[in-house]
Amino acid sequence: MKKTFFVMLSLCFLSCSRPAYVDFTGYAQGGVWQVKANLQGVSASRRELQRGLDSLLSAIDASLSGYNRGSVLSRHNRGDLTLPAGTAVSHEEALAAGYDTLFLRMLALSQAVWELTDGKVDASAADLFDAWGFGFKHDSLPSVRQTDSLRALCGSFLPVRPDGSVQRFNFNALAQGFSSDVLAAYLSAGGVRDMLVNVGGEMVCAGANASGKPWTLGIDAPLDGNDTPGRNLSGVFCVKDVPAGVVTSGNYRKFYVKDGIKYAHTIDPSTGRPVTHTLLSATVVVGPDCPLTAPGAPFAAYPATLADGIATYCMVVGAGQAAAFIQAHPGIEACLISKGQPQDADPQAVAGLQVWTSEGFSLE
C-alpha cells in the first residue's frame, strides 16, 4: 500500500485519556491500524467492537488486496472469475460470479475518482503500475513502446474488455481511505460519536478527542530518509470541521534509483511514466460540507476514500494544478509541500520546502 505520513499528536493517545476513550489496534494492509473511540453510552463491549473491526479488515483484505492471492481482486486479475465480455453486469450477476459487495463498491468508487480527476487516478492502470515495479510485480524501467501499449488498456471499468481479456485493477490508491471509512461507519452505527480511525495513516475524524478539543494531527516533513513518522514534522493542524476524511500522499518514501535517476511511485496514466515535478506531499481534508460526500453524491459516506483519491491526484499533477483543483471544490482543504528554497516572503517555507495551504487549512 502507498504512502501516508501522519503522526497523531493528540493527547488522547496518551495514558491520561479518560476511561471512556478506548484504543483499538491491530495489523492489516502491511501496517498497523489504530482507532481511538469514546465508548460512553455505547452498548457493545470493547471486546465485541475489537472483533468487529478485525472482521471488517479481514473481509477487506479477502476482497481487495492484490497481495493476497486468494482475494477477489487477485482471482479477478488472474481471470478466475467469469463475466460476460464487454458489457455491464448487474449486482446480482457479479455476486453469482464470485465477486462481493466490497469489490463492487470499490470498483464504483474507483470509477468515480477516475471521472473526477480526468483519468489521473486510474485503478484500471494495474498493468502500468506493475511494469514500473510499483504494483503487484517487481518489474522496472519498461520501454516507451511497452508503456504506450499499457496506456491503451487504461480507463476501462468493465471487468472484462470487449475482446474477452480481463481488465486488471489495482485499488491501492484508495484502499486504506476506504478501509477507514468502513470502520468509521461500523463504529458510528454502533453509537460511537467521538472517534479517530487510522488505517495506514488514512484517517476519519469525528467528534472530539478525550480533552473535548478537535483532533490534532501532524504532517511529516517530506524529506528522503525521513522514514519514522513523527520524527521530523512540517507542522501540525486541528481538524475543526468533522466528520472529515484526512489523507496524505507523498513520493519521498517509496521510490527507487537506477543509473542515478530517481523513479517515484506515483505514475501518471496519461504519460505512462513516474511523475517528475517538485511536489513532495499532499495532505487533503474532506470536510462535512463537501458536496461530493452529501447524501446521494458519488462519495456519500466515503470522505476518506475521496481524500485518498484527491491526494493521489495532487501527486500526479503537481502543485499548480493541485492547488487550482482544491480551490475549485468547496469543502476540501489541502496542504501541499514542494521542493524549493526558503523565501522571506513565504513564512511557511522551511528546510528548503515550499508550503502551500488552502484558505481553510491552518498549519501551525
- Give pLDDT tens digits for 67-87: 999 999 999 999 999 898 988
Q: In terms of domains, do 206 and 344 share one?
A: yes
Q: In terms of domains, do 311 and 252 share one?
A: yes
Q: Where does a domain end: 172, 205, 225?
A: 172
For residue 32, being part of any structural domain is answered with: yes
Whether 103 has a pLDDT exceeding 50, the answer reads yes
Which residues touch 204 (CB under 8 Å, ≥6 apart)?
180, 181, 183, 184, 195, 196, 197, 243, 244, 245, 246, 303, 304
Handedness of CA 266, 59, 5, 357 (dihedral sign): positive
Whether 17 has a pLDDT exceeding 50, the answer reads no
CB 200 within 8 A of CB 1: yes
What does the pLDDT look like over 339-360, one tens digit per residue?
Answer: 875 443 454 445 578 899 999 9
The count of structural domains within the chain is 2
Structural domain span for residue 145: 64-172
Residue 157 pLDDT:
94
Q: In terms of domains, do 93 and 166 share one?
A: yes
For residue 112, being part of any structural domain is answered with: yes
Residue 3 pLDDT:
47
- In this prediction, residue 228 has a pLDDT band, given cuts at 50, 70 and 90, of low
Q: Could you tell me the three cell numbers for 215?
A: 483532533
Least confident residue range of 88-102, 115-129, 149-163, 177-191: 149-163
Handedness of CA 236, 237, 243, 248 (dihedral sign): negative
Choose among 291, 197, 280: nearest CA to 245.
197
pTM for the complete prediction?
0.89
Average pLDDT score, the chain: 86
- In this prediction, residue 44 has a pLDDT band, given cuts at 50, 70 and 90, of very high
Q: Where does a domain end: 172, 202, 217?
A: 172
Residue 232 pLDDT:
55
Q: In terms of domains, do 344 and 301 share one?
A: yes
For residue 51, being part of any structural domain is answered with: no
Which residues touch 297 (CB under 8 Å, ≥6 apart)?
291
Q: In terms of domains, do 251 and 217 share one?
A: yes
Residue 131 pLDDT:
87
Residue 40 pLDDT:
94
The enclosing domain of 280 has a CATH number of 3.10.520.10
What does the pLDDT look like over 253-277, one tens digit per residue?
Answer: 565 566 555 666 788 999 988 888 8
Q: In terms of domains, do 163 and 201 share one?
A: no
For residue 151, being part of any structural domain is answered with: yes
Least confident residue range of 33-37, 132-136, 339-343: 339-343
Residue 229 pLDDT:
55
For residue 183, being part of any structural domain is answered with: no
Q: In terms of domains, do 148 and 228 share one?
A: no
- In this prediction, residue 18 has a pLDDT band, given cuts at 50, 70 and 90, of very low
Whether 58 has a pLDDT exceeding 80, the answer reads yes
Q: In terms of domains, do 168 and 212 share one?
A: no
Residue 224 pLDDT:
59
